[in-house]
Amino acid sequence: MYSRIAGTGSCLPKRVVTNDELSKTVDTSDEWIATRTGIRQRHVAGEGETTVSLSKEAALRAMSAAGVSPDDIDLIVLGTTTPNLIFPSSACLLQAELGIAGCPAFDVNAACSGFIYAMTVADNFIRSGSVKTALVVGAETLTRMIDWTDRGTCVLFGDGAGAVVLKADNETGILSTHLHADGSKKELLWNPVGVSEGFKPEEENAGVRVLMTGNEVFKHAVKALDSVVEEALEANGLDRHEIDWLIPHQANLRIIEATAKRLDMPMDRVIVTVDKHGNTSSGSVPLALDEAVQSGKVQRGQLLLLEAFGGGFTWGSVLLRY
C-alpha cells in the first residue's frame, strides 16, 4: 500500500514586501539579501490572515484538485510552528472550518521540517491501513514572531500555506520517508520563550522572536541535507540521476544549490520559490510543490525528492513517485 498525492493546493497572503521596502526600515539592501539568500520578496500576513485561514484556502484547493470533498477526509495533519492558538491545535481549528468533525486532527511542530514530518506521519497512517484519505498541510505566519529590528532574521521569512491530499493507492506514491532530529543545537535557531518556561512581558512581543546564528545553521543544514538525500537514494537503490525534480525547503538559494550539486542535478530540475516567497518554514515545500504542479513542470509518474531542514534541529526527506 502506498500514499499517493491526489491533489495539491496553496495560498499566500495578499501583501508583498520587497527587499527595497525592508531596506527603508532596517540597515540592509536588495543586493545583500539577494546575493546571500536569493530572496527578492516575501508575502506577509495582514489582518484576518492566519495560519488557519491560509491553511483552509490551501486545503480547499488541494481537495478540489484531488476531486475529494471535506467528508472524504479521515485524517488531518498540520505542520506548523506558528499555530493560531496554543490550543486547540490549528489542525482542529481547520477541521472545524472545513465542517468535518470526527476524524483525528493534530499539529506537528518540527519548525521548517514540519511538512516533511507531517507527510511522514500521514504516510504511516495510510500504510498501516487505518486511513484512506489524509489532508496534510504545512502552514505558517512566521512574520508574526519576527523581530523587525533584527536584520539578520527579518529579511529571511515570509508567510504562506500549502496542502496535499494523500490517498491510499496500490500502485504508486511515497516510496520512503526519512526523519532526523538533534535537540543539542537548539540555541542556534530558536524562539526561547513559551508557556512552561515563561514569557518576558518586559520585552517587545513578550520576547517571542526568532533567534538564529545564521552562518552556523547554514553549515549544519548543508551537511544534514547532503546525508538525508543520500539516505533516500540508498534506501531505494536509486542512482542520483534518476530523480526528476528536487523540491527543497526554501530557506536560502545557496543551500539549495549545494544540495543540487550533491545530487549532480542542473538547477532547471530544482523547484525554486525562495526568490518570491522567502522562507515560509513548514509552508515552503508544499508551496513549491503546488507551484511546480500548477506550472506543469511536475508530471504524473515522475520521481520527486522533497527535503527540509529547520529549528530543533530537525531534517528529513520524502521520496515519491508523483
> What would the x/- binding string for ligand ACO be over residues 220 to 259, using CB under 6 A?
-x-----------------------------xx--x----
> Count of residues for the chain?
322
> Taking a C-beta distance cutoff of 8 angstroms, is the pair 114, 53 a contact?
no
Cis-peptide, bond into residue 83, ω within 30° of zero = no
The question of whether 112 is a catalytic residue gets the answer yes
User: 10 Å Cβ neighbour count for 12?
Assistant: 25
Q: Work out whether 111 is an interface residue with ligand ACO (CB under 6 A).
A: yes
Q: Work out whether 215 is an interface residue with ligand ACO (CB under 6 A).
A: yes
- DSSP readout, 149-175? T-HHHHTTB--EEEEEEEEEESS-SEE
> What would the x/- binding string for ligand ACO be over residues 261 to 300, using CB under 6 A?
------------------x-x-------------------
- From the list 43, 178, 249, 277, the catalytic residue is 249
> Taking a C-beta distance cutoff of 8 angstroms, is the pair 238, 263 a contact?
no
Residues 56-95 that bind ligand ACO (CB under 6 A): none
The question of whether 279 is a catalytic residue gets the answer yes
What CA–CA distances, in Å, run from 91 to 79, 114, 190?
A: 9, 13, 23
Residue 137 C-beta: closest distance to ligand ACO, Å: 17
Query: How many Å apart are CA 20 and CA 301, to the nearest integer?
Result: 41
Segment interacting with ligand ACO (CB under 6 A) among 64-72, 86-94, 149-157, 170-178: 149-157
Residue 209 C-beta: closest distance to ligand ACO, Å: 12
Cis-peptide, bond into residue 87, ω within 30° of zero = no
Grid cell, residue 170, equals 496500490
Residue 98 C-beta: closest distance to ligand ACO, Å: 27
Chain residues that interact with ligand ACO, rule: CB under 6 A: 28, 32-33, 36-37, 111-112, 151-152, 155, 189, 214-215, 217-218, 221, 251-252, 255, 279, 281, 309-311
Show which residues are catalytic. 112, 249, 279
